[in-house]
Amino acid sequence: MIKWRFKTGWLQQYRSILSVGLVCLLHLIPIWCFTFIPTQDGISHLYNAYILKQWHQPEFAKFHQVYNLNLTFFPNWTNYAFFYLALHILPPLMAEKIYVTVCVLLFPFSFYYLLSAIDKHRRIYAWLGFLYSYNYLMQMGFYNFTIAAPFCLIGIGYWWKHKAHFGLGQVAMLNLLLLATYFSHFGPFVLLLFTLSFFSGVDLLISLSNWRDGEWRKRLSFFGYLLPAYFILINTHLTNPEARDQASWIAKHNGAQFSHYKSLTTLWTNFMQAEPLVYFNDSYLPISKILLVLVGLCLTWTIVVRIRQKQIFQLDSLFLVLVLLLTVLYFKLPWRYGSPAWINPRINLFILPILLGWFLVPNRLWVKRVMVGLVLMLTFWHLGLTIRDYHRLNKDMKEFMSGARLIKPHSVISILDQATDFRETDHHGSIRDLSPFYHGLCYYALQTGSLYIGNYEPKYHYFPLHYKNGNWKFRYVHGQIDYLVAWHEKANHPTLKEIEQDYQLIYQTKQLKLYQHR
């Protein structure tokens, strides 16, 4: 009997591992079955890492004319460090695929780790991590944020798992997680540090009720372990040039408001659409709405059961309190504060995984199976739509890239920004919220070692390159621009007529026009 139980348990574990592995492999289809990953900013990060790699090569002198290096300890280093090393042995698009693979798989792993640390029965909800593998922030190309978010969830889970016994090994590991999160993105780092401080503070207050056993001293010492992270937080804030000189930021950005708020109606609409799951088009909306219904049912059931069992004020209720705080911040904070933008969607991404930490698990097996089945249905539906849209957008992106073979090495290139409609394509149709063509000329620059003057990153202090000598985004002061590209041009736009004197059309497709300086 014991032997049979052992075999049955082993088989169940084997099937679980096999199932998870299969779902992981399926989620790599969009990355590895198509040439391009259609993000908005992702290729820009890859291009700037490429500039760092080629910086000391004499044939890339144009980079030295336009940029200064900014090799300081700011957030946002993770993807540049990875790409810088990977580009020495891999083609650019291959390096990007490997990085995005890590990001996609880290999401379900971080859900699993966090929920297992809280209660091993709650890891049934970790299947939702696959639904978040492809999300709006990742498709925006926010590669550093996309890897920092799972680091943050893993850090919270690590503290929860070891909160009762924190030795030097645990202190070292937690600080490594804090550093990894910081060098990936400042937002998740702040959330992780706040969560650790908040949870530890409550844990300290609870331990004070039995102050004679001395446990409170161990809880108090934990804040000493966080001192390096507090120092990094304060130093980053105090050395932020935008916070000190908002007037200068406004002047450099043509009078744009330093902070910008979305309307309450817009925020509420996005919140009720499960914004992180919707990108490219509205076909993802039914999935997000069904997910919200499922989450609402789980939330209602958890509240009812906790009231009946008088478990409202358990320590894991801190996850509910944290979700309430995040929800308030989602509606109160600006969409942009200086350069950092998309603040509300970034907060929205964390609300569901943290809320799952408070959910109870149904006792009935059939309920669990129905719930997992529904989550998997939503996951494969969402993945199927993503594969479909990657397929369509790759057709458009191949057309967009087709002019790159005509660019001479080490040229200066730009896109006709005012005359281009970045969100219109023939194969996919109109694109919602983002555009993989917005920084698409970085593909041209990567293939030819050229200077793309629409590079947006050097405008900001938290990237490894800075503009110098009067250069700026779409401003090149050292001579002529060799090539101009128009994509899905706006009909009869005056810019196209203005350039005819100096530029000749050398290549044209249905959506693309490539001009060369005469």
Angle, helix 78-86 to helix 143-162, in steps of 10 degrees: 120
Residue 469 domain boundaries: 406-517
> Which residues, including other chains, have CB under 8 Å from residue 223's CB and lie 6 or more apart?
197, 200
424: which strand partners?
Answer: none
Number of helical (H) and strand (E) elements in the chain, helices listed first: 22, 9
417 and 375 fall within a common domain: no
**What number of other Cβ atoms are within 10 A of residue 382's Cβ?**
23
**What number of other Cβ atoms are within 10 A of residue 490's Cβ?**
15
164 and 287 fall within a common domain: yes
Query: How many Å apart are CA 233 and CA 140, to the nearest integer?
Result: 26
Q: Could you please report the per-residue DSSP string of 166-188?
A: --HHHHHHHHHHHHHHHTT-HHH
Q: Nearest to residue 485, comparing CAs of 459, 467, 511? A: 511
**What number of other Cβ atoms are within 10 A of residue 513's Cβ?**
20
In a domain, 63, yes or no: no
161 and 19 fall within a common domain: yes
In a domain, 395, yes or no: no
Give rounded-to-5 percent helix, strand, coil for the chain: 65, 10, 30
371 and 428 fall within a common domain: no
440 and 501 fall within a common domain: yes
Rg of the chain, C-alpha, whole Å? 25
How many separate domains does the chain show? 2
Please give the distance of CA 126 from its chain centroid, rounded to a whole number: 19
Quote the pLDDT of residue 7: 56
In a domain, 314, yes or no: yes
221 and 161 fall within a common domain: yes
Contact 209, 321 (CB under 8 A): no
Query: How many Å apart are CA 260 and CA 515, to the nearest integer?
Result: 36
Both structure tokens of 225: 């372990």
How far, CA to CA in Å, does 323 sit from each of 302, 354, 355, 466, 479? 15, 7, 6, 37, 53
Measured in Å, how far apart are the chain's first and last C-alpha atoms? 86
In a domain, 64, yes or no: no
Quote the pLDDT of residue 16: 78
Residue type, 16: S
In a domain, 39, yes or no: no
Query: How many Å apart are CA 178 and CA 155, to the nearest integer?
Result: 7
In a domain, 49, yes or no: no
15 and 135 fall within a common domain: yes
Scanning the structure block, which residue is given the tokens 């939503």?
378
Residue by residue, pLDDT tens for the chain (518 residues) are: 455 555 555 666 777 788 899 999 999 999 999 999 999 999 999 999 999 999 999 999 999 999 999 999 989 999 999 999 999 999 999 999 999 999 999 999 999 999 999 999 999 999 999 999 999 999 999 999 999 999 999 999 999 999 988 888 999 999 999 999 999 999 999 999 999 999 999 988 888 777 666 677 777 888 999 999 999 999 998 888 877 778 777 777 777 888 999 999 999 999 999 999 999 999 999 999 999 999 999 999 999 999 998 877 788 999 999 999 999 999 999 999 988 899 999 999 999 999 999 999 998 999 999 999 999 999 999 999 999 999 999 999 999 999 999 999 999 999 999 999 999 999 999 999 999 999 999 999 999 999 999 999 999 989 999 999 999 999 999 999 999 999 998 878 888 889 989 999 999 999 999 999 99
130 and 272 fall within a common domain: yes
Instruction: Please state whether 408 falls in left (phi above 0), alpha (psi between -120 and 50) or beta.
Output: beta
Contact 517, 482 (CB under 8 A): yes
In a domain, 354, yes or no: yes
In a domain, 77, yes or no: yes
414 and 333 fall within a common domain: no
How far, CA to CA in Å, does 19 sit from each of 24, 141, 417, 430? 9, 29, 46, 36
Q: Could you please report the per-residue DSSP string of 114-137?
A: HHHHH-GGGGGGGGHHHHTTS-HH
> Which residues, including other chains, have CB under 8 Å from residue 433's CB and lie 6 or more apart?
136, 278, 279
Both structure tokens of 347: 């907060």
Quote the pLDDT of residue 483: 98
467 and 361 fall within a common domain: no
| Burial classification of residue 317, based on how many CB atoms lie within 10 Å of its CB (0-12 exposed, 13-18 middle, 19 or more buried) | middle
411 and 338 fall within a common domain: no
Query: How many Å apart are CA 129 and CA 113, to the nearest integer?
Result: 11
157 and 300 fall within a common domain: yes
